[in-house]
Structure 1
Amino acid sequence: MLRRFVPELRGVPGKRVHKPWEIDGLDYPKPMVDHAYEREVALARYNAIKN
């Protein structure tokens, strides 16, 4: 589905399509947000107000 809507990724094989910024020769922007870190921050905030 991703390859269908993002033409730059049509020729990317396998699971590499999910991290296109790591592919040599492909000028693709790096992620703006570290979702793993932001998840931890959100959970910490939730736990702080929950207690």
Structure 2
Amino acid sequence: MENQELSKKIYQMAMDCGFDNCGIIPLSDLDNYEIRLKERSKKYLLEWYC
């Protein structure tokens, strides 16, 4: 199966499951994801808690 065909299938499955949108990104885009997630979590927890 070609990458583009697989991407379309994944996208359609996400839509069928009720997601508003779905995208596929290169793994290299996730290099700093954990750091950004922790920063956002702290920020929103502080905003919610205060």
Say yes or no: TM over 0.5: no
State the TM bucket, normalised to the shorter chain. 0.3 to 0.5
**Structure ranking higher on relative contact order (CA contacts 8 Å, 6+ apart):** 2
> What TM-score results when the alignment is normalised by the length of structure 2?
0.36
Relative to total residues, which structure has the larger helix share, 1 or 2? 2
